[in-house]
Structure 1
Amino acid sequence: MSIHEDDSGLGSDLAESEVFNTDYKQFLQNQIDAVLTSEREKQSGLDRREELHIAIDLCKKKIVEMDESDDAKRQQILDLMVELRLELEQVEEIQAKDPAASVTRWQGHEFVLQSLRGRNPYCETCVSTIWRIAQAWRRCIKCGFRTHDKCVKKVNDKCAAWIVGKPGFEFDLRICPEKTLLSQNYECFSCNRAISYESGSDAEPRLCDYTGQYYCKKCHWNDNMIIPARVVRNWDFQPRVVCRSVKKLLITASKKPIIQLEKLNPALPSYIHSVSEICKLRKQILLMKCFFLCCRLSLQSARNLRILQHLNRYQHFVESSDRYTMEDLIALHSGNLLQEIQDIVKIFRKHITEECETCRGNAFVCELCSNKETIYPFDDSASTCRTCCAVFHKTCFSTASRRCPRCARREARKCAILAEMNEDGQDKN
């Protein structure tokens, strides 16, 4: 064979190989396009970054299924994966510069891409480990829900923060309104997975003490939480098992002042001493608030005494006297809340009755007796007229059958003015 013949054969082989490689690369790209078209029909909100992840996963699957002898095809797949990876990095870099572009909204969640560093978390959707280095994952910035990026559209549970943030949200105060498996069609209440006691441990139904519904093992991890209904109805703080979505709901709503304890269970203060005491202290705080609003030195004195810093944790205490958070009730049961509020009330009382001349000047003197000692509406021995807010000794006010002399004077003055107006009208006529 001549040199020219040899060169001609080598050139022919290279050309044939190039055509083969180009054809396979185009074939692979066509497959990717077909898969993406199918995914777009299933998920209307698919963005470019999600499409790139799907394409890369398909390339990985092709490499795993490929024979070891297909080196040429393997190389083509690897080259395509490199191109896809570079494009993915560019897309993620653009999204990092514009955080709004990297937020994926689903079921009320706002999922944001997380970094590759740190410990490997757990995906709450597919219940498997998230390998940060190899797998993109997202976390809801509102409720903390963690999931693989590829599992976002499989999330069934609505965002707990989104639910709690709705106007008029309240806890379900029915004590474990248990349903039957038949009423759920033998399906998990969250993901509709088949559950049954007769199908083995993998399909074992798990009851949530808050909703009374049954869930599968993926949606119910046997987490223990204190149930609001049992606290309000029975003052029972024993933790009980709840599903994952309820756990997030209870944690998110634990700082929301939505429990009107005295209205929901009026008899509770009669049986629980700590509840009776905190109700009394909260009414005193609202009465003391009136003095602070009129006190020119209160803000400066409060800062010096760190009063405002204490109240920042209990802002709802100065807005109403009957609303509690779950954290309040848990702290009250442990004894911490009552002691802390007692200390704050002592600081308030000292400022009003001893340290501030303006507050002392707003004190009252009982008009129903000869005792000229000043009294305050938040004193245990004081009673307040509901009409004019005048303050009297409790025993004096009860003896006078709760007839207020200030209201009597006002009524007499009003009658006199009306009489004068009538006389003037008659004179003109």
Structure 2
Amino acid sequence: MEYDERLAHFRQTRLNPFDRGEEDYDPQDGKPAPEQEPRAELSGTGSSDRTMDLGLAEDHFSRPMGSCVDSDIEKLKLAIEECKKLILELPEHSEKQKDTVVKLIHLRLKLQELKDPEEDEPNLRILLEHRFSKEKSKSVKQTCDKCSAIIWGLIQTWYTCTGCYYRCHSKCLNLINKPCVRSKVSHQSEYELSICPEIGLDRQDYRCSECRTPVSLRGVPSEARQCDYTGQYYCTTCHWNDTAIIPARVIHNWEFEPRKVCRSSLRYLALMMPRPVLKLKEINPLLFNFVEELVEIRKLRQDILLMKPYFITCKEAMEARLLLQLQDRQHFVENDDMYSLQDLIDISSGRLSCSLTEIHTTFAKHIKLDCEKCQAKGFVCELCKEGDILFPFDSHTSVCQDCSAVFHRDCYYDNSTTCPKCTRMTGRQQDEPFDIQTR
């Protein structure tokens, strides 16, 4: 009872700081002038009594011990509703309206805090192959992928899947019905290679392809949004109008304009982007006839594969870890025909050509100039027996497909006889049975 009397006395003797004008303060000590009466609200719609009814003058952020949480929640709800009405009544873009909006935000945050009190949440949760890790960041503003509401890190606990980066409130964890996209990437590492394979909303029974919520093209009861990657329709909860580059459009049309995709497709494409799963020779071999950059990159990759045996058998190259310069594109030292979507994007922008040319120059410099052991593994053209030492990755050379001997390109194609090295090897194989019989 003593607390209520002191609170009432405090309300009667103090004005709401949002309602004070410059004339209400004493310039010396900053206190309100004692002889002035409290002024009414702007636009003549309220008074200082109404302000106190809103709860704006009450400190909701430091309540006494033992107070009832349920009653505080009801009071905060009433204060929020009154605050909303007051914002509509105040003049637009006025200082009082801005201050009242700030106070409304604070009241809503406090209400959310009372509804979702901080609990000892586990640091790791595993649901539907998701590995949810409890986030500790408080200043980052995120959106819950389940309820589409804002995650207020200052007062709410939230989790992020370490596999597909699915984010949600702790209270939404048990409501999740979407499995982790990373599991799909692990078991089915391939793209949809048809451009927007639409089957029609009627084939989906006018329901969201993912959560089965009723949708329609007219937006009643929910708007149907098409995913350009799958061609199917989704509700506004599963499709946020995010955009991504579509692999099928890149491969068939060399088109890199981002298109609207659903949330699950967005995560799938993001996880698949660095994976080398596109074999362009089989999917669209004509692409090399129209995109010169692809031909250039293919030649650089073929040269790097020819340089790889030199580095594997060279101690200096292994100590210098030259091949680690391609650790972000490991498939470049394994084959020359597999590409990732990120490779194609970098080829289109020109970044890959510049970086790969620089690496190619570094590798060639080590083999031909810096390392004597690698230089000793060069070839002399056995057809003309002239010129400098040849290497299989030189632009003016040709390599025998059978014995890997290196010749000048002009000498190799002008000579109508077989490869000299292959001839010697064939002669040796024929002489071995004769030597065995004579013994």
Give the TM-score normalised by the residue count of structure 1.
0.72
Structure 1 pair 363–239 and aligned structure 2 pair: CA distance change class (3 A): same
Residue of structure 2 equivalent to 1:117: 138
What secondary structure, in the 3-state scheme, does the structure 1 residue paired with 2:133 have?
strand
Cα contact 1:219–1:244 (8 A) shared by 2: yes
Give the unaligned 5+ runs of structure 1: 1-58, 69-81, 96-101, 425-429
What secondary structure, in the 3-state scheme, does the structure 1 residue paired with 2:429 have?
helix
- Which of 214, 227, 239 is the equivalent residue of 1:220? 239
Residue of structure 2 equivalent to 1:255: 274
Distance in 2 of aligned mates of 1:156 and 1:254: 25
Cα deviation 1:250-277 (Å, max 9, x = unaligned): 1111112222223322221121110000
- Which of 332, 345, 360 is the equivalent residue of 1:345? 360
**Is 1:327 the counterpart of 2:348 in the alignment?**
no
The aligned amino acid for 2:239 is H
Aligned alpha-carbon RMSD (Å): 2.7
Residue of structure 2 equivalent to 1:153: 174
Identity of aligned residues (%): 39
Cα contact 1:137–1:147 (8 A) shared by 2: yes
What secondary structure, in the 3-state scheme, does the structure 1 residue paired with 2:168 have?
strand
Cα contact 1:397–1:403 (8 A) shared by 2: no
What secondary structure, in the 3-state scheme, does the structure 2 residue paired with 1:176 have?
coil
The aligned amino acid for 2:309 is C
The aligned amino acid for 1:234 is N
What secondary structure, in the 3-state scheme, does the structure 1 residue paired with 2:260 have?
strand
Cα deviation 1:292-321 (Å, max 9, x = unaligned): 122232234x46xxx455322222211222
List aligned pairs for 1:228-377, cutoff 5 A.
228-300=247-319, 302=320, 307-308=322-323, 310-377=325-392
Cα contact 2:189–2:272 (8 A) shared by 1: no
Structure 1 pair 163–406 and aligned structure 2 pair: CA distance change class (3 A): same
Structure 1 pair 114–290 and aligned structure 2 pair: CA distance change class (3 A): same
Give the TM-score normalised by the residue count of structure 2.
0.70
What secondary structure, in the 3-state scheme, does the structure 2 residue paired with 1:353 have?
helix
Distance in 2 of aligned mates of 1:147 and 1:261: 38
Distance in 2 of aligned mates of 1:373 and 1:224: 54
Structure 1 pair 258–124 and aligned structure 2 pair: CA distance change class (3 A): same
* Structure with greater helix share of residues: 1
Distance in 2 of aligned mates of 1:170 and 1:275: 21
What secondary structure, in the 3-state scheme, does the structure 2 residue paired with 1:115 have?
coil
Cα deviation 1:187-243 (Å, max 9, x = unaligned): 00011000112344x612111111111011111111111111111122111111110
- Which of 133, 154, 162 is the equivalent residue of 2:183? 162
Distance in 2 of aligned mates of 1:145 and 1:326: 22
Cα contact 1:195–1:204 (8 A) shared by 2: yes
List aligned pairs for 1:68-147, cutoff 5 A.
89=119, 91-92=120-121, 95=122, 102-115=123-136, 117-147=138-168
Structure 1 pair 317–123 and aligned structure 2 pair: CA distance change class (3 A): same
Residue of structure 2 equivalent to 1:186: 206
Distance in 2 of aligned mates of 1:116 and 1:379: 53
List aligned pairs for 1:366-405, cutoff 5 A.
366-401=381-416, 403-405=418-420
